[in-house]
């Protein structure tokens, strides 16, 4: 038998200290396994902490309701809070997967202007969530979960026919959804599913046909639905962003 190198021996000693053996395999496919990252020295992220009262109310609403609408200007933390809570649910094994989606509509452009296949085209829109999930779970866990389907990133149109069971689902930039698209999306909700729909109704890129306000008007009074409205005062990205948004709206 070949002699083990010094690096191998050091790795074996570290594994024994963790109560493991040479054949440990990290499997993220089962709720009964523990989550880990590539490096055992990585520490778990601290619990999500709200930056203001509005964020605190939003976080509480997501935890307490099956469907939460988060509406308001950019920079208020709508997407970050939703992503961080999704990561906590996955890490605690209360759900089996995270689903992140958004309509394939951007300001004056479309997916056709980006190189690559559909997944490569949609990947840039996942960057904000990717950073949040890596911060909360670790890069190794996120990459593994993406490969194994535990984290699913998909354009809205490709969710037709699916059912959201045992999942935390985030629909971002929902102001660019039509009424029929939001109806399709919301009727996917299954068992043990928590859904967050985020957007800024005043920043739609599809004209007057946005379905976000329509969905809020129709569903906002349901017991399991909560509508949280952010204002300019809730912007946490930077003071400059707050000033920029106010000027654009004031001089529209």
In tens, the pLDDT along 191-209 reads: 999 999 999 988 887 777 7
Instruction: Please check whether residue 84 is in contact with residue 136, taking contact to mean a CB–CB distance below 8 angstroms.
Output: yes
Predicted confidence at residue 3, as pLDDT, reads 52
17 within some domain: no
Residue predicted with more confidence, 216 or 33 = 216
- Whether residue 70 lies inside any domain: the answer is yes
* Contacting residues for 81 by C-beta, under 8 A, at least 6 apart: 48, 50, 55, 58, 59, 62, 70
Residue 36 lies in a domain: no
Sign of the dihedral through C-alpha 202, 105, 186, 83: negative
How far apart are alpha carbons 49 and 225 in whole angstroms? 23
Give the domain extent around 156: 66-250
Query: Does a structural domain hold residue 184?
Result: yes
pLDDT at 45 over 70: yes
Q: pLDDT at position 135, please?
A: 93
Tell me if 200 is assigned to some domain: yes
Instruction: Kindly state whether residue 57 falls inside one of the protein's structural domains.
Output: no
* Residue 40 maps to a domain: no
Q: 219-235: per-residue pLDDT in tens?
A: 999 999 999 999 989 99
Q: Identify the residue with better confidence: 232 or 58.
A: 58
Strands 151-155 and 67-71: what pairing? unpaired
- Position 40 scores a pLDDT of 39
CATH of the domain at 136: 3.40.50.300
Confidence check: pLDDT of 7 > 80: no
In a domain, 165, yes or no: yes
Whole-prediction pTM value? 0.77
Q: What is the pLDDT of residue 117?
A: 59
Q: Which tokens go with 196?
A: 């967050």
* Structural domains of the chain, count: 1
**Residue 239 CB coordination number (10 Å):** 10
């Amino acid at each position: 038998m070949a002699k083990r190198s010094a690096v191998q021996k050091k790795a074996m000693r570290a594994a024994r200290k963790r109560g493991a053996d040479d054949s440990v395999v990290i499997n993220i496919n089962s709720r009964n396994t523990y989550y880990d990252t590539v490096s055992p020295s990585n520490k778990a992220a601290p619990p999500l902490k709200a930056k203001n009262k509005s964020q605190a109310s939003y976080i509480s609403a997501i935890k307490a309701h099956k469907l939460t609408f988060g509406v308001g200007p950019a920079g208020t933390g709508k997407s970050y809070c939703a992503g961080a809570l999704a990561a906590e649910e996955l890490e605690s094994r209360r759900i089996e997967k995270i689903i992140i989606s958004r309509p394939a509509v951007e300001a004056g452009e479309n997916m056709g202007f980006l190189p690559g296949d559909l997944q490569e085209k949609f990947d840039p829109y996942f960057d904000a969530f990717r950073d949040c999930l890596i911060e909360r779970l670790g890069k190794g866990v996120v990459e593994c979960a993406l490969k194994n389907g535990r984290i699913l990133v998909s354009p809205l149109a490709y969710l037709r026919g699916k059912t959201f069971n045992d999942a935390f689902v985030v629909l971002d930039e929902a102001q660019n959804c039509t009424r029929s698209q939001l109806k399709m999306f919301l009727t996917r909700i299954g068992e043990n599913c928590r859904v967050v729909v985020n957007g800024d109704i005043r920043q739609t890129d599809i004209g007057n046909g946005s379905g976000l306000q329509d969905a809020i008007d129709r569903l906002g009074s349901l017991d399991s639905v909560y509508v949280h409205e952010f204002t300019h005062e809730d912007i946490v990205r930077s003071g400059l962003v707050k000033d920029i948004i106010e000027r654009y709206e004031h001089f529209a």
